[in-house]
Amino acid sequence: MFSIYVISMLILMISMMIMFFASILSKKKNSDREKSSPFECGFDPKYSSRLPFSLQFFLITIIFLIFDIEIALILPLILTISFSNLLTWTITSLIFMLILLIGLYHEWNQGMLNWSN
């Protein structure tokens, strides 16, 4: 047991020394303004790198992710039908589908699904 402890400490010390020496040797000594600026084919950038994005596109993406996760939750319902009580399975799946439809109606009613304004 003692030899495992000694070997693990030896491995830990060697790896720490290698990381220490690697961090010392890999430091860039000259930090230049031109080197730290974004590179665009040798020219100064024409536009800012912080461009605004469409909020509508972001909302559509979030809605897609939410419904994608919901589909991943619906798929196991097919496999669990043979292992569970039919009445319980039907009520559970209907409640889940009802919640999804209410959410879809709310998003449609709020105008989140309209791409063009």
Q: Give the pLDDT confidence of 65-109 residue by residue, as tens digits.
A: 888 888 888 888 888 888 889 999 999 999 999 998 898 888 888
Residue recorded with tokens 């709020």:
110
Residue 62 located in a structural domain: yes
Residue 70 located in a structural domain: yes
Residue 68 located in a structural domain: yes
- pLDDT score, position 95: 93
Residue 63 located in a structural domain: yes
Measure the CA–CA gap between 35 and 53, rounded to whole angstroms: 28
Residue 86 located in a structural domain: yes
Residue 79 located in a structural domain: yes
Q: What's the structural domain count of the chain?
A: 1
Domain that holds residue 67: 55-110
